[in-house]
Homo-oligomer: A and B are copies of this chain.
Amino acid sequence: MVTTTSQHISQQFENELQDIRSRVLAMGGLVEQQVHNAMEALIKGDADIAREVIAYDDEVNSLEVSIDEECIQIIALRQPTAGDLRLVSGILKTITDLERIGDESVRIARMALNLSEKDRPKHNYRELQAMGNHVRGMLRDALDAFARFDVDMALRVAKEDREVDAEYEAILRQLMTYMMEDTRAVTRVIDMMWSARSLERIGDHANNICEHIIYLVEGKDVRHLSIEKAEQVIKGQLIE
């Protein structure tokens, strides 16, 4: 009888963890869509899409609050240990990063609103578009790595953050040149700079999510380590 009850509870607990993972992935999907729409609003100068992104942020925020509450409830009621506890605490961190990616999408949407009223430059934000695609790819792959608890994939995504940083630096240099060539373009170029900065931050958050995946799967905290050191820590554990 005792065994049956505890099996029952353990099955319920498994279901709860599964449910939370699905909800994190649903939140991730929504946030990815927000990044996509914010970039579309920016590139096409579409104020309607921009306003939609801003309005949808409430949805992202309530998802964070409700998953957060669910995690705290699970810790309180199920008192998970070891791997399960790492999973729940890794999820708590992951949704913070997802929520902040949502915030950055709103910032880009606000810039898109500003820019929709101004003349469009000939290059039509080509570099921002390329950086946006890159960052969205990182986010999608980070969510895939989360879905499959795939540490190798998480490490690959984390490596890409450097390329995004390099792209960002190149865009900044170019924008400063535009600004010096034509002072009438200053406000427009500043809006583009803020957008580039938001994309760079989204890359950082995707990178953080990958670190959380490594932590929850391997039990190693690789935040604040270089990718090379993170790889060594993980390989070291595999040999042990």
- Could you list which residues of chain A lie within 8 angstroms of chain B, going by C-beta atoms? 58, 61-62, 64-65, 68-69, 72, 75-76, 79-82, 85-86, 89, 92-93, 96, 176, 179-180, 183, 186-187, 190, 193, 197, 221, 223-224
Contact = CB atoms under 8 A, between A and B. Distances in A.
Number of copies of this chain that the complex holds:
2
What are the nearest 6 A-B pairs in CB distance? A61-B224, A79-B79, A180-B183, A76-B85, A76-B81, A180-B186
B65 A75 contact: no
Contacts of A176: 186-187, 190
A68 B89 CA distance: 10
Nearest to A183: B180
Given A72-B89, A75-B75, A79-B79, 18 more contacts: A61-B223, A61-B224, A65-B223, A65-B224, A68-B221, A72-B85, A72-B86, A76-B80, A76-B82, A96-B96, A176-B186, A176-B190, A179-B179, A179-B183, A179-B186, A180-B183, A180-B186, A190-B193
A188 to B, nearest CB: 11
A86 B68 CA distance: 12
A166 B176 CA distance: 26
A229 to B, nearest CB: 13
A116 to B, nearest CB: 19
Contacts of A65: 221, 223-224
